[in-house]
């Protein structure tokens, strides 16, 4: 049966197909915390008043049915072709790599849809782009591509479930130990213990004071279970859904501070008096269980490794994708720095970068990314050296507001100097370093000559004093993604500007390659055999991609404006 006849039958019998396709199915719920029901129930809408003009009413009914049938037909056609291609391609995974074969594996999808007359306008092309986002979102979240380890269940967790190893790192507010679950065969994990000096040894009090640390966490427990008060409080805070470039927190719980290896030497003041009579800490604190990462970005950049320009670009792109994800969920980190970026450097040329340490973040449901700033008592964030100009220079007043929409983006621009092997202009000697309070755009030093000019311009844009002159996070991330994966002719302003159809075909090719690589990831330990960070980077890009935003990024690359 030809594709044209299939399309005709879909249109003719669209209503029956929709009913049959959705029979017995329930909508997939996004992954969310187990501590609260954060999804509000769907409110019933009022029925429209009955029209007196029956002819007009019939017209609207038929029009709506036609729109639904067309959209469903397009979706079924794209999904059928994607599924058919994926089943054939998975059988040939040993013959094709992620970047080795650039044949248009999914171009037939675009041809098939065009052949049915469904893609005649830019809006309809954008609709197919939506199908790509839906397909890639299912692959990314339903398959648990980050790790094949058995996830921790919802049973209450405490320190007795772990065997402690040596300390990994210590900061001013916490210490991190290597741990392993006593009853499960898992890879090495890390357990972060927060220092508690002045919060009473009560789970709810600790949670209220340190709730920001739990923002990326899917599960929370205390040593006695969880109370309704804690449910209610956590329901008032925002939760950051999982993302490949956000630290993977497996569980968060409160428990009594234990006596651990080197505790008296590393953090004696944080110990309770039952362990050290001279200690100033409380008996209970917050514990965060997470994946173990080899090092942070600062350590990685200072290691005797000669980083290639591509490796630096991969790291920068991952940080921008993390910022896009946070902004999309109305969360501002407010303390981005190289120490708070962890790396899985199993593959040194393609490290996986994640943003961690959310202790200074803005994540209240009652606020978006704009906060009233009426007095100096309202905190602005963490690291003042990398605090955006619009934040650090803002003075309190009855109508003053702190806008964090592009503040993390500015911090990534400053960190980019370190990523590309240059001195961060906002660090160093107080006589030579720039101050985010007073610097001018022309004061910014250039990046090394080995860095492509696109990124020199991009970093300068991210660090512009006026946030209105900066790119939006998704456009900035798209610029990096286009540089990495798009045809080089698209970046040349002397070449023809790609059409929406050409962009869509390129996206379909990327989607096909992700489907191919998805069948190869059989175990967590096989990461070293794959460009795993690149795989995740393309996946996250395809999960949020929109044709108009790609076009905007291309316009900026070619002309410097949008």
Answer for the pair 76, 135: CB distance below 8 angstroms, yes or no.
no
From the list 226, 114, 18, 62, the residue with the least C-alpha distance to 499 is 114
Answer for the pair 327, 405: CB distance below 8 angstroms, yes or no.
yes
Among candidate residues 255, 335, 408, 474, the one labeled active-site is 335
**Cα(399)–Cα(373) distance, integer angstroms:** 8
SS3 content of the chain, % helix, strand, coil (to 5): 45, 10, 45
Answer for the pair 424, 417: CB distance below 8 angstroms, yes or no.
yes
Which pair of structure tokens corresponds to residue 70?
Answer: 């067309």
Answer for the pair 340, 414: CB distance below 8 angstroms, yes or no.
no
Q: What angle do CA 169, 157, 37 make, to 5 degrees?
A: 105
Q: What angle do CA 134, 246, 380 make, to 5 degrees?
A: 120
Answer for the pair 113, 119: CB distance below 8 angstroms, yes or no.
yes
- Residue showing tokens 């002397």: 494
335 is catalytic: yes
CA dihedral sign, ordered 392, 394, 398, 403: negative
From the list 478, 476, 441, the residue with the least C-alpha distance to 460 is 441
Which pair of structure tokens corresponds to residue 562?
Answer: 């949008």
Parallel, antiparallel or unpaired: strands 174-181 and 162-170? antiparallel
**Could you write out the DSSP letters of every residue in 51-103?**
PS-HHHHHHHHHHHHHHHHHHHHHHHHHHHHHHHHHHHHHTTTTT--TTT--S
**Cα(122)–Cα(95) distance, integer angstroms:** 35
Parallel, antiparallel or unpaired: strands 162-170 and 370-372? unpaired
Residues identified as active-site: 335
């Amino acid at each position: 049966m030809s594709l044209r006849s299939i399309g005709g039958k879909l249109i003719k019998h669209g209503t029956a197909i929709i009913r049959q396709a959705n029979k017995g199915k329930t909508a997939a719920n996004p992954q969310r915390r187990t501590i609260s029901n954060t999804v509000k129930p769907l409110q019933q809408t009022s029925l429209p008043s009955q029209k007196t003009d029956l002819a007009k009413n019939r017209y609207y009914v038929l029009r709506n049915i036609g729109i639904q049938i067309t959209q469903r037909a397009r979706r079924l056609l794209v999904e059928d072709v994607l599924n058919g291609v994926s089943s054939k391609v998975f059988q040939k995974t040993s013959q094709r790599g992620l970047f080795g074969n650039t044949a248009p594996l999914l171009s037939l999808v675009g041809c098939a849809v065009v052949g049915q007359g469904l893609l005649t306008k830019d809006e309809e092309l954008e609709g197919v782009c939506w199908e790509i986002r839906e397909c890639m979102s299912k692959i990314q979240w339903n398959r648990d591509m980050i790790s094949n380890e058995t996830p921790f269940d919802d049973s209450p967790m405490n320190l007795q479930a772990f065997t402690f190893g040596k300390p990994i790192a210590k900061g001013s507010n916490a210490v991190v130990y290597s741990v392993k679950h006593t009853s499960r065969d898992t890879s090495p994990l890390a357990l972060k213990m927060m220092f508690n000096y002045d919060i009473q040894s009560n789970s709810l009090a600790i949670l209220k004071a340190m709730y920001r640390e739990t923002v990326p966490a899917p599960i929370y427990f205390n040593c006695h279970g969880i109370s309704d008060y804690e449910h209610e409080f956590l329901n008032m805070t925002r939760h950051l859904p999982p993302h490949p470039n956000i630290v993977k927190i497996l569980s968060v719980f409160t428990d009594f501070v234990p006596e651990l290896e080197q505790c008296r030497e590393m953090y004696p003041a944080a110990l309770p008096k039952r362990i050290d009579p001279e200690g100033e800490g409380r008996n209970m604190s917050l514990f965060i269980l997470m994946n173990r990462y080899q090092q942070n970005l600062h350590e990685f950049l200072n290691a005797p490794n000669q980083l290639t320009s591509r490796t630096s670009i991969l790291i920068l792109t991952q940080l921008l994708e993390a910022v896009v994800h946070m902004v999309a969920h109305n969360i501002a980190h407010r303390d981005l720095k190289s120490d708070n970026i962890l790396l899985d450097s199993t593959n040194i040329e393609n490290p996986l970068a994640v943003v961690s340490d959310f202790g200074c973040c803005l994540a209240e449901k009652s606020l978006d990314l704009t906060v009233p700033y009426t007095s100096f008592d309202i905190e602005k964030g963490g690291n003042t050296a990398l605090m955006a100009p619009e934040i650090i220079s803002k003075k309190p007043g009855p109508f003053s507001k702190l806008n964090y929409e592009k503040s993390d983006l500015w911090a990534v621009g400053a960190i980019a100097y370190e990523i590309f092997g240059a001195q961060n202009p906002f660090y160093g000697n107080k006589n030579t370093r720039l101050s985010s309070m007073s610097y001018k755009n022309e004061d910014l030093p250039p990046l090394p000559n080995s860095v492509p000019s696109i990124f020199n311009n991009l970093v300068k844009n991210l660090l512009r004093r006026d946030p209105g002159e900066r790119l939006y996070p998704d456009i900035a991330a798209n610029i990096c993604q286009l540089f990495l994966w798009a045809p080089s002719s698209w970046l040349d302003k002397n070449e023809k500007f790609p059409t929406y159809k050409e962009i869509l075909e390129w996206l379909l090719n990327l989607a096909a390659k992700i489907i191919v690589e998805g069948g190869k990831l059989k175990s967590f330990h096989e990461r070293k055999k794959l460009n795993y960070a690149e795989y995740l980077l393309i996946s996250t890009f395809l999960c949020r991609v929109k044709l108009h935003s790609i076009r905007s990024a291309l316009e900026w690359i070619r002309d410097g404006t949008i």
